[in-house]
Amino acid sequence: MKGDFVQFLVQYIDCIRSFAWATHYVRIKGIYTANLKREVFMSSDKMVEVIIDSVRVSLTNQQRIVVLREVDTERYLPIWIGPYEAESITIALQEIEVSRPQTHDLVKNLLNQLNAKVIRVEVRSLKDDVFYGNLVIESNGRIVEIDSRPSDALAIAARAHSKILVSEEVMVTAGIVPEMDIQDQDQETSSGQNGDPSSLEEIENEERLSIFEDFLGSLDIGGLDDTDTPEDDEEDQDPQP
């Protein structure tokens, strides 16, 4: 009786059109329990659309970074990624043909064969300097959100030509806006010294973002056009005494 009631409750919830629910039954000691997972069609959090602006390489430590740019706005979001993901994103952006499918190509091919498609990629939060994202997929009329590293999700989005969204909170916290005129900066600093709480908060946010600005200052302007060579590795090493 208990199992029948749970089944009836699940079927009733499925009738609510505002949300999509997925039911997964787990049998433990002969008793069926329902694990309901909410699949959100649209988040209540404000999201902004971005595009992949470029993939860069640090001149100092050769670390890779993907730079996202907000659509129609000069606001950027840098995300550190691994060398493999950087190469994968670059191959997709430049539409380079490879002899055999890479991992992200395989994921896209699997989705195509299963009649599923990538609706969008979301960068939803930033915790302890780690970005968290979702891969939103439509399959057989159902919208499914899959937890994903932003680097992997962006590599798939570049192949699927899908929309990329970033939480406004993440953009405010880690986004970078090109430097303003010195006069404008002086005016904001002056208003902040007068005790305006909002201005003081803006100055504090700028100080927190200085680490991103310092890193971008060391990036190769040419992007991934420069490749590592054995000669470069030898030059990076300290001279022998």
HEC letters along 72-119: CCCCEEEEEECHHHHHHHHHHHCCCCCCCCCHHHHHHHHHHHCCEEEE
Q: Tokens 């499925």 appear where? A: 14
Q: Are 194 and 100 in contact (CB under 8 A)?
A: no
Average pLDDT over residues 83-109: 93
Asked if the model's pLDDT at residue 137 lies above 90, the reply is: yes
Comparing 50-54, 101-105, 175-179, the range with the smallest average pLDDT is 175-179
Q: How confident is the model at residue 157 (pLDDT cuts 50, 70, 90)?
A: very high
pLDDT at 19: 33
- 68-76, long-range: CB < 8 A, 24+ apart: 68/123, 68/164, 68/166, 70/166, 70/171, 70/175, 74/177, 74/178, 75/171, 75/175, 75/176, 75/177, 76/175, 76/176, 76/177
Residue scoring higher pLDDT (26 or 58): 58
What's the fold here for domain 47-177+209-225? Bifunctional nuclease domain (3.10.690)
Q: How confident is the model at residue 59 (pLDDT cuts 50, 70, 90)?
A: confident
Name residues whose C-beta falls within 8 Å of residue 228's C-beta, 6 or more positions apart in sequence.
62
The full 3-state SS of 153-217, as one line of letters, equals HHHHHHHHCCEEEEEHHHHHHHCECCCCCHHHHHHHHHHHHCCCHHHHHHHHHHHHCHHHHHHHH
Residue scoring higher pLDDT (201 or 116): 116
- 3-6, long-range: CB < 8 A, 24+ apart: 3/31, 3/32, 6/32, 6/33, 6/34
Write out the residue limits of the CATH 3.10.690.10 domain(s) in the chain: 47-177+209-225
CA distance 137 to 192: 45
CA distance 198 to 185: 15
pLDDT at 144: 94
CA distance 166 to 73: 13
Q: Tokens 């902004």 appear where? A: 48
Q: How confident is the model at residue 58 (pLDDT cuts 50, 70, 90)?
A: confident
Asked if the model's pLDDT at residue 187 lies above 70, the reply is: no
CA distance 107 to 152: 10
CA distance 214 to 78: 12
Residue scoring higher pLDDT (207 or 175): 175
Structure confidence by residue, pLDDT tens digits, 83-93: 999 999 999 99
pLDDT at 26: 29
CA distances from 118 to 13, 72, 145 (A): 26, 23, 10
Structure confidence by residue, pLDDT tens digits, 31-50: 222 232 333 333 447 999 99
CA distance 3 to 200: 58
Asked if the model's pLDDT at residue 206 lies above 90, the reply is: no
Residue scoring higher pLDDT (99 or 205): 99
Taking alpha carbons only, the member of 16, 49, 24, 33 closest to residue 144 is: 24
pLDDT at 72: 87
pLDDT at 61: 82
